[in-house]
Homo-oligomer: A and B are copies of this chain.
Amino acid sequence: MCQLLGMNANKPTDLTFSFTGFSQRAGKTGDHVDGWGMAFFEDHGVRHFVDYQSAIISPIADVIRRYPIKSTNVIAHIRKATQGKVSLPNCHPFVRELWGNYWVFAHNGDLKTFRPRLHSHFHPVGTTDSEHAFCWLMQELHKSHAGVPSIQELTLTLRELAAEISPHGTFNFLLSNGEALWAHATTHLCYLERAWPFSKASLSDEDLSIDFAERNQPGDRTAIVVTAPLTHNEQWTHFQSGELKVFVDGAHCDY
């Protein structure tokens, strides 16, 4: 299986602290050593990093831990290969363009029986069931909306599409178009929102603490979604199985 990490914030925010803890699971506190990837949205653009080396030894992952890339939406993934060989085209997250926006997707789980025909413009480059499911999601989103839909409309469509895929296996995923972060859980996913008054957080996977009150302003707000809680002194909310949540401007929306 794999692990997922997502961030949605109302202002460009760096994820250095969370990624430092998360990437320990790629060999130190976990065995997710078969590649990693991370995509940062910035002004509709995407910085997209993938590597089939573990996030512990990858020189690019090392730069990301040290160099604070500020972003409003981030999706990261560390992989333990179950479907598809260990190679660059099989590293999540995957990126496609739809309606003049980049869309980023990462998946944790197996969808062994989900191989629908792809009859539109989105085709997988690698061999994972995850990228196949992503291409199908993009195809169906495009078919379902004549123009560019609102976040609320997209959420309703994605909830229907996720429910179609879910019976085929385990479908924990993160998806973002740079404006919203969608998260769907079959098994493990939890989230928290950091907002005023900020508090001190201590990583579960590394001996590192941070006082968010010192680094944030009163209006700042960040939501973090992750496979397993990253900190041991914050309140994480676990997803119900089958739940799809959407985060905008650093907060969970009630769509």
A interface list, Cβ under 8 A from B: 42-51, 59-60, 63, 66-67, 87-91, 95-102, 120-126, 142
Contacts and interface: CB of A to CB of B under 8 A. Distances in A.
A207 B220 CA distance: 48
A43 B102 contact: no
Copies in the complex: 2
Contacts of A125: 44-45, 97, 100-102
B45 A88 contact: yes
A225 to B, nearest CB: 23
Contacts of A121: 98, 120-121, 142
Contacts of A67: 59-60
B48 A48 contact: yes
Contacts of A120: 121
Contact of A63 (B59, B98, B102, B142): B59
B100 A44 contact: no
